[in-house]
Amino acid sequence: MNYFSSQFKLGILGGGQLGKMLLNVTRKFDITTHVLDANEEAPCRIACNQFTKGDLMDFETVYNFGKQVDVLTFEIENVNVDALEKLEKEGIKVYPSSRNLRVIQNKAKQKLFYLDHNLPTSNFSRFAYASEIEDAVLNGGLEFPFVRKSAQFGYDGNGVKVVRSLADLKGLPPGECIAEALIDFKNELAVIVARSLNGEIKTYPVVEMEFHPEANQVEYVICPARISAEVAKKAQEVALQVSQAFNHVGLLAVELFQTKNDDILINEVAPRPHNSGHQTIEASYTSQFEQHIRAILNLPLGQTENKVGGIMVNLVGAEGYTGDVIYENIAEIMKMEGVTPHIYGKKQTRPFRKMGHVTIVHEDLNTARQIAEDVKNTIKVISK
């Protein structure tokens, strides 16, 4: 198929920041794009060829949107997967597949998938209702501490909580959930694996993540991770095993724990460009966004090595500010060496909302890390 022709149409479900960064690539390659999102003011509203307002969870909306395009992808997992399945049956190419999305959308199914494929992950129990957790604790079937995760519709740490006592269970959402053993880890790592339709596979360097303690959102992503070559190799191998099990098309971001014993356990995966890969825009030979487009269009994959070291800092709304956003001191950080801000274009800020990210690149990763801290201490996402 000739992708570089206006006859070809790529559909993207979701018009948020990930979609926006995908559109930079489709613009570069002049690939025609249609985007569906419920928010008329979504970051993708401009830069796609056609924007459609509609509910990503509604069967008819997703189905009708998908029927207009040749290849359909998504930038968010919370889409109507039944519609994707019907579209696949009717000949629309959907990458990643509805089969994989169904597994990944539900954290309980995802964990079972790892068990079924002998992939290393933490122990867990599945509960159809939140109330069952309390029963399990009281009957001695579950011990504190554990991590409670909603099975469905978790995003950016929503629905995830470390539970250390019965009191922590109060006020949690009612639906299906899992309780995972709390891993005593040294590092949270991630590896992005790209796989194209014809089976070409490339992995990005292992990255190291630091999470914000309260919001459970990534605060720094450090590429390459400051770990030993053996641990990096093991992380890459596990990521490739996961990739092989899913047999996916497109990106698969594999989040991993490096335990105190240097074991590698799978935390979770995302079948799309991922927060842990934003620094690839400036640091890598091929950005994760370009790689996703190359993979789903069955084009040759690009190199995944770093040109220089890269650090990513999320720009999240400061606590205590809700309303029309202001990026305080943005010019100050633009003075710093190797600093590039990315502003997603959301007009309203609220505490911990992802409003953008900043990449810091430098030949020397330690210098980059120092600058990243300066960036973090300088810019502030507030409201008028």
What does the binding site for its own copies look like in residue numbers (CB under 8 A)?
A: 2, 4-6, 20, 23-24, 27-30, 46-49, 285, 290, 294, 299-300, 302-303, 307-308, 324, 326-327, 330-331, 334-335, 337-338, 340-345, 347, 356, 361
Residue 275 marked ligand-binding: no
Task: Give the integer Cα–Cα distance in Å for 78 and 80.
Answer: 7
Residue 282 marked ligand-binding: no
Helix (H, G, I), strand (E, B) or coil at 371: helix
Residue 2 marked ligand-binding: no
CB of 324 to its own copies, least distance (A): 8
CB of 327 to its own copies, least distance (A): 5
Number of C-alpha atoms within 13 angstroms, CB side, residue 8?
Answer: 14
**Complex with its own copies: residue 207 or 355, whichever CB lies closer:** 355
- Burial grade of 74 (CB within 10 A; 0-12, 13-18, 19 or more): buried
**Complex with its own copies: residue 157 or 341, whichever CB lies closer:** 341
Query: 211, 257 in Cβ contact below 8 A?
Result: no
CB of 91 to its own copies, least distance (A): 22
CB of 335 to its own copies, least distance (A): 4
CB of 75 to its own copies, least distance (A): 15
Residue 181 marked ligand-binding: yes
Task: Give the integer Cα–Cα distance in Å for 280 and 141.
Answer: 43
Task: Give the integer Cα–Cα distance in Å for 307 and 361.
Answer: 9
Query: 322, 351 in Cβ contact below 8 A?
Result: yes
Residue 384 marked ligand-binding: no
**Complex with its own copies: residue 43 or 154, whichever CB lies closer:** 43
**Complex with its own copies: residue 205 or 338, whichever CB lies closer:** 338
Please report the DSSP string for 186-254 in residue order: EEEEEEEEEE-TT--EEEPPPEEEEE-TTT--EEEEEES-SS-HHHHHHHHHHHHHHHHHHT-SEEEEE
Residue 38 marked ligand-binding: no
Binding-site residues from annotation = 107, 149, 180-183, 188, 267-268
Binding residue ranges for ATP: 107, 149, 180-183, 188, 267-268
